Chain A
Amino acid sequence: MESVFGRYRNLIVLVGVLFAQILGLAVQVRRARDKDSEPTRLIRVWAVGAVTPLEKALSWVQTSSGGIWHNYFYLRGVRAENRELKQQIEQLRLQQARMIQDADQAHRLQALLGFKEQFIAQTTAAQVIGGSGSDLSRVIYLDKGYRDGVRTDMAVITEAGIVGKVLRADRATGHVAQVLLIDDQTSGVGSILEKSRLQGILRGTSSGTIELEKVMSDETVPVGEQVLTSGGDGIFPKGLTIGTVTKVSMGSDLFLNIRVRPAADLSRLEEVLIVTKVDEKQTEPDQGTPVRAADILAQRLPGVPAKPETAAARQGAATKNLTNQKPNSAATPKGTKPNLPSGPDTPNAQSTTPKSPSPPPTQIGGGAVQGSPAAGRANSGAAKVSATSAQSGTANPQPAVEKKNAPGTATGTGEGSGASAAKPPVPKPPAGSPASTGRATPGATDKAPKPVVSKPGNPDAATSKSQPATQDTPQ
């Protein structure tokens, strides 16, 4: 026996070591399937602790030397560039003026409809200091971790688009966080196509590309369409840019294969933003323009009391009057379409079952303003987070429930857009009052016309854990 061991010692040790590793692997796989979150293994802590200080140091040296070069030496063409930038600023100011009006209008409409929005309330800027070094594990390491307020499952974004989610951030690794990129094959992001509003799940592949799954093959998806986050995964706020559709082909199992090019360059990441706090609050008009569409409508329309007792009553009165009137096209700003067009997106609640363009599989928090130009702009704008601002308050309009409004509501929004251009001075109700929030109190509901609960064919909307399942639409 001893001679056998001596003769085949190397082979026996090899088999023993391999067996031990396979056993360990099997245990890890089983645990990973049983539990949602496995504790960080000591070997990972050691490896990260050994490698990341070097990476941090090297990143610092690279950034510093790059900064010195770019800020002090390489200043060729700065004058010409400055001139061009000034011209761009002038053009952008004009664009901004138009977009501010649109955004104000969208806010007023959402307030009118009692929607809730998700705001990226707080972000933390972090630097990418390392990766896994493996094509099959697309993770990166950031120089901010648990002790900097970073937690598992936080969204990681850049100004261009989303990057991934925090996979590990715990006390053991301290100031380092591991981020799973969206092109890893184990990642999944709830996604929605910007124009067609088709929803799917974005997954990475082993080759490093990302694909949108679960879109039925009978749908039409044009190449070049923008893909946004749907908010359905509970990690990424709704409306952040993911990328652009680059290829559409027929796949198996009645689904399309949609290849997406990420907006953020995932192979050249240097600085990212970690979304450390997402606020959710009732939409209110901007502080600078304390005028609500309902107030404007109440003033402009005869027969509607100027100061109704409750918000519900006011909204009810406004929408009731609006059903008998056409939108004031003269009051609508040029080039601004009235929101909530009466079409597939906003079917008549009193008519037969609305024909939805596509049944969203994982919709959470879709809104009546979906598909409207203002909503599209507002959603896109949500991803425009400045990488330089660590504390950002970028608005990310997040309607609570996909509502199919009554015709009065739809018409009212068109009127509201016109009213927004006029902006007559209307005193703002006191903050916190039902009128100021635009939400009906129980007492108010008694006095107001009985509201009609409009729940369109969006079963998942009611599953939203952070948003109200239903919204009352006074009629």
Chain B
Amino acid sequence: MAITYTSGEQVEVYRFSVPATIFIPLAAIFLQAWLPLRFHFFTIFDLPLLVTIGFATARRNPLAGLFTGGLIGILQDALTHQPIGLYGIAKTVVGFGASSLGIKLDVENAGARFLLTILFYVVHEIVYFFIARVLVSLQMAWSWPHEIFSGVANATLGLLIYALLDRVKQRI
């Protein structure tokens, strides 16, 4: 369960096929837009964020992580009516952080993934909150209990998502 410190040489790096790289993020964005209409509780989940973390930790390449996060975030922004870049910036930071941490730590086990997802969910929300308040002047309320609860919920769902991603990733 513990997060294991691993040397760079011991870390396994994975890649994803082109169809998986394209369709998994699109499917996540699609489900994120569609499911809350049918199941309102689903708004607490952030599937694109989970996919970003999953890709970033598997690839362990900060550049790939930040670009993947940025693109997914921008696509997510495009479906809202807010300026494009809010999710883009937040997911860029998360993608970079998750892949950088993936190099340093062994994040293959479920416990590490669970904790990392909570951490990056909170980071994502803080970055989003900051940008939305400072740059876009949106009125937002911050609630630690809500964020922690959402983080735990996302981390739980994340375990399932990461297990699915493990099936499609390929060792380099």
**A contact residues vs B (CB 8 Å cutoff):** 9-10, 13-14, 17-18, 21-22, 24-26, 28-29, 32, 41, 43-44, 46-48, 50-51, 54-55, 58, 62, 128-137, 139-141, 167-168, 178, 180, 184-186, 205-207, 267-269
Contacts and interface: CB of A to CB of B under 8 A. Distances in A.
Contacts of B136: 25, 29
Interface string B25-37: 0100110111011
8 contacts: A21-B70, A22-B135, A43-B78, A130-B79, A131-B79, A133-B80, A136-B132, A268-B40
Interface stretch (B6-14, B83-91, B107-115, B152-160): B83-91
Interface stretch (B51-59, B138-146, B164-172): B138-146
Contacts of B37: 128, 130-131, 140, 268-269
Given A25-B89, A58-B34, A185 B138 contact: yes
Contact of A133 (B76, B86, B92): B76
B81 A137 contact: yes
A128 B37 CA distance: 9
Contacts of A10: 62-63, 66, 96, 100
A471 to B, nearest CB: 40
Given A10-B100, A14-B92, A43-B78, A131 B36 contact: yes
B138 A13 contact: no
Contacts of B96: 10, 14
Contacts of B78: 41, 43-44, 46-48
A318 B62 CA distance: 85
Contacts of A167: 81
B80 A18 contact: no
A167 B38 CA distance: 22
Shortest beta-carbon contacts, A-B, top 3: A47-B78, A137-B80, A133-B32
Contacts of B67: 17
Contacts of B29: 47, 51, 133
B139 A206 contact: yes
Contact of A135 (B43, B137, B139): B43
B45 to A, nearest CB: 9
Contacts of B86: 25
Q: Among the interface residues A25, A55, A130, which one has the most CB atoms of the partner chain B within 10 A?
A: A25
A137 B84 CA distance: 12
Given A17-B92, A55-B30, A133-B76, A41 B84 contact: yes
A140 B137 CA distance: 22
A400 B160 CA distance: 60
Contact of B84 (A24, A51, A269): A24
Given A47-B79, A168-B81, A186-B81, 5 more contacts: A10-B62, A25-B86, A41-B78, A62-B38, A133-B79
Nearest to B127: A18
A178 B80 CA distance: 9
Contacts of B131: 22, 25
A404 B76 CA distance: 53
Nearest to B73: A21
A206 B140 contact: yes
Contacts of A168: 81
B82 interface: yes
Contacts of B30: 50-51, 54-55
Contact of B76 (A22, A46, A134): A134
A360 B87 CA distance: 41
A13 B29 CA distance: 25
B50 interface: no
A132 B85 contact: no
